[in-house]
Every structure is written in structure tokens, then in C-alpha cells.
Amino acid sequence: MADRQTGVSAREQPPDVGELTPPDRTLMGPGPSDVHPRVLRAMSTPLVGHLDPSFVEIMDEVQELLRYTFRTDNRWTIPVSGTGSAAMESAIGNLVEPGDTALVPTNGYFGGRMASMAERAGGDVVTVDAPWGEPLDPVDVERAFDEHQPDVFGFVHAETSTGVLQPDVPELTGIAHDHDAYVIADSVTSLGGVEFRVDEWDIDAAYSGPQKCLSCPPGASPLTLSDRAMDKVLDRETDPRSWYLDLSLLEGYWGDDRSYHHTAPITNVYALREALRLVAEEGIEERWDRHRRVAEDLKTGVRELGLEMNAPDAYWLPSLNAVRVPEGVDDSAVIDHLLAEYDLEIASGLGDLAGDVWRIGCMGHSARPKNVEYLLAALEDALATQGFEG
Ligand SMILES: *Cc1c(COP(=O)(O)O)cnc(C)c1O
């Protein structure tokens, strides 16, 4: 835009932008979670090329660490460039072929995203229903299989929008395999946070994100496919609609050839490597236990404040706690107070639960007793400003 008086373009002056000084938040929303300092340090190490022999070694290490974290021997285990949705779209966009029937859940926000992606992949979408805030019932899944004979079945193991953990996973995969279907599991809010076992539970494809229970910045997202699932991908009659996420092409880079497809987000791969190294040092089962222990204290504390959890204990999700907003309390005023006064992030409800719940994450490096104590004290204060007595 030209200055009216002088006729000089504003672009000739460099913008006066100060040094980056983000606020020091405590992240206890639905993601991202607090990043471990070791991960931040890994991100400030020197860049190497994406085909550098040293980077090829790092790729191998990341793949090994991902297999450990997913509890799988799948050869096809890679970080996808992009956020969790990129890993999600590569699972769905490669496994769902035009004309395939895809069965997806309606019990949360991310099941809806699965439906959109399957539809864009050319699939015919059918649903298995449950209310927001409840898991899928295997009886309903079985009925949906009998009715629709889907080729692909997607489910969300940890629904971040509702704080529900899907139980009975082996039963669900059993139903799908009795019908020769492929199972895709959304493990974005479970991987590294709650028990999740790809091989033992017979899951064909699972995707995740780095910024939830792995406490790593977003940018490179875990994906694993069984040989059986990869055979379906490699036998497709038509190419997947996305070139960038086409797994048959990505095989050239992450498989044996290590040839160029696109430039990997090198720094994000470093970050993921360090985040996964932390998982390995802690031990995956110990890490699941820690999330459960720390979130159990959060749940107890929230109840002591006079609040209620949205999910019953039977399918409570430790990594994402949906807490009911009490009568007469303004949910967004509480969220704003926590952010302004305590630099503490939590989130509101989504979709069918908008206005009804707060979503409090207890993920990765944020799943520490110190954070829970801090959150409970801050929440008590925020509720008091709303006149809530408990
Ligand atoms: C966060 C999330 C995603 C999407 O991940 P992005 O990193 O935001 O793209 C998908 N599924 C679930 C269950 C999530 O919580």
C-alpha cells in the first residue's frame, strides 16, 4: 500500500517485528502438550541433508523406536511429513480405494474427519453409531458389518473430543477380520500414553501424532501398516488421489532405496527421535502406568472440587479428561482466566459436547504430578471467580 502523502510503498520499509518471545504456557489441553527440554535441544542441532548417510541412520533409528512404541514388528512403520491429520489421510487415502465401503464411527469429532477423508478417497461411507461421550458397542459393530460388508473399518481408540477410550479393541478387530476387512486405528491421543498394541490387537494400520502423548512439536507423524495392509495399497488399481501421501511412492524413501521423494522435515524427525528415545528410556508400559497414575490424581482432585467427569471409569481416557461444566459456570470465562492468570491452557468441548465439558489433557511431559497440582489450584481459583462453591 502506498503512503498517501509520499507515494512510497510501505513494502520498502522492513517490517518492525521484535524478537520471538512466546509466553511460557503450561499445556494441558487436547494437544499440543508440554515439550520435553531434551526434544527442544534436539531441534537446535545442525541440519543435515535428507539423504545424508547420517540421516539415513537416524531414519532407521526412528523406525525402530516407532515399532517399539506401537508394539509392532511392521516393516512399514514411518513418520509421515505433517501433523496427525497427514498420517490419518495417508492411512485412509491409501487403504480406501474408489468404490470401497468404509465403516466409520459417529461418536466423536475425529470419526467425522475419518468419514470426510474416506469420502474424498472415493469410498462409500457407512457408519456405526454411538452417542458422543460413549464408546462403540461390539454388538453394533457386528450388526454394521452384517448390513454393509465394509472393506475398511476405522475407529478412534482415544477420542480427544469426548475423553472416551474405546475398550474391546481385539473384539472389534476380530469382527472386522471375520469379514475380511482392514482395520485402521486412530491412536493420536493414545500412542505413548495409554495401552495400545498394534500386533497383539491385530490392527492393520494405525496412525498417530507427535504432539499429544509423545510431547513433541507437530510436524512428523507416526504411521504403521501391516504387510497385509501394504499389499492392498501396492495392489491398487488406481493411484491414491494424493501424490504427497502415496505410500507406494514413499516406499522409495523410507524403504530399502532411500531415494528422494520429498524433503523430509529433518528437524521434526530429530525431535521425534528424541521424544521416542524418552519413551524407550522410561519403558512403554511404565509410561502407560504413569499416565494412568497421574491422571487418576487429576480425576480425584477434580471430583474433590465438586466437579464430575463426563466419562464413567469403565471407558475414561487418562490422556484426555472431559470434565463437566457445572450449572451456572461460564466455561470460556474459566478457560480465559486460566490462560490469563496462570499461563495454563485447557480447552472447551467440541461438537455435541460444546459448552458442556472442559477438556483437560494429561499427556506426555505434561502428565506430571506438579502439573496436576498446579492445574487443580488454578481451576479452584477460576471456579471461585465464577461463584462456584462445589
Ligand atoms: C489431534 C487429533 C487428530 C489430528 O491431528 P492433527 O495433528 O491436529 O492434525 C486426529 N485424531 C485425534 C484423535 C486427535 O486427537
Tens-digit pLDDT profile for residues 268-280: 999 999 999 999 9
Average pLDDT over the chain, rounded to whole?
A: 96
pLDDT over 70 at 29, yes or no = yes
pLDDT-based confidence at residue 12 (cuts at 50, 70, 90): confident
What confidence tier does 8 reach under pLDDT thresholds 50, 70, 90? low
Q: Calculate helix-pair angle for 369-385, 284-304, nearest 10 degrees.
A: 20
- Could you report the per-residue pLDDT of 54-89, keeping only the tens digit for each? 999 999 999 999 999 999 999 999 999 999 999 999
d(CA 13, CA 42): 36
At a CB cut-off of 8 Å and minimum separation 6, what does 301 contact?
A: 372, 376
- Decide whether any atom of ligand 1 lies within 6 Å of the 88 Cβ: yes
Please report the beta strands in the chain, taking only residues with DSSP state E, as ranges in sequence order. Answer: 26-27, 76-82, 101-105, 124-128, 152-156, 158-159, 164-165, 182-186, 205-207, 219-225, 320-324, 344-345, 347-348, 357-361
pLDDT at 5 over 70: no
- Res. 296: pLDDT tops 90: yes
pLDDT score at 390: 79
Domains of the chain listed by start with CATH number: 26-32+284-385 (3.90.1150.10), 37-281 (3.40.640.10)
The answer on pLDDT for 10 being more than 90 is: no
Name the pLDDT band for 234 (thresholds 50, 70, 90). very high
pLDDT band (50, 70, 90) for residue 116: very high
pLDDT-based confidence at residue 293 (cuts at 50, 70, 90): very high
CA distances from 106 to 25, 111, 159 (A): 33, 6, 11
Mean per-residue pLDDT, 329-358: 97
pLDDT cut 90: percent of the chain above it = 96
Other residues' Cβ atoms within 10 Å of the Cβ of residue 77: 23
**Probe residue for ligand 1, chosen from 160, 166, 184 as the CB with the greatest number of ligand atoms within 8 Å:** 160
- Answer whether 317 contacts ligand 1 (Cβ < 6 A): no
Cα angle: 185, vertex 191, 195; to 5 degrees: 90
Residue 358, strand partner residues: 323, 348
The pLDDT of residue 262 is above 90: yes
Model confidence at 389, pLDDT cuts 50, 70, 90, reads: confident
Task: Give nearest CA residue, ligand 1 atom 3.
Answer: 84
**Percent of the chain surpassing pLDDT 70:** 98
Exposure string (b/e) for 107-132, b if CB count within 10 Å is 16 or more? bbbbbbbbbebbeebbbbbbbbebeb
Q: What is the chain's length?
A: 390
In tens, the pLDDT along 206-219 reads 999 999 999 999 99
Question: How would residue 3 be classed by pLDDT, with cut points 50, 70 and 90?
Answer: low
Phi, psi of 207 (to 5 degrees): -130, 160
- Verify whether ligand 1 is closer than 6 Å to residue 209 (CB atom): yes
**pLDDT tier for residue 193 given thresholds of 50, 70 and 90:** very high
In this prediction, residue 9 has a pLDDT band, given cuts at 50, 70 and 90, of confident
* CA 385 to ligand 1 center in whole angstroms: 32
State yes or no: pLDDT of 2 exceeds 80. no
pLDDT in tens, 139-182: 999 999 999 999 999 999 999 999 999 999 999 999 999 999 99
Is the pLDDT at 103 greater than 60, yes or no?
yes
What pLDDT does residue 6 have?
66
Give, for ligand 1, the residue of 188, 214, 215, 317 to mutate: max count of ligand atoms closer than 8 Å to Cβ.
Answer: 188
Instruction: Show the cell assigned to 67.
Output: 515399532
Say yes or no to pLDDT of 1 above 60: no
Is the beta carbon of 84 within 6 A of some atom in ligand 1?
Answer: yes
Q: What is the mean pLDDT of residues 309-317?
A: 97
Please list, in sequence order, all residues whose beta carbon lies within 8 angstroms of the beta carbon of residue 315, skipping any fewer than 6 positions away.
134, 135, 164, 165, 166, 167
- In whole angstroms, give the CA distance from residue 71 to residue 220: 19
pLDDT tens for 363-385 read: 999 999 999 999 999 999 999 99
Q: How far is the CA of 13 from the centre of ligand 1 (A)?
A: 40
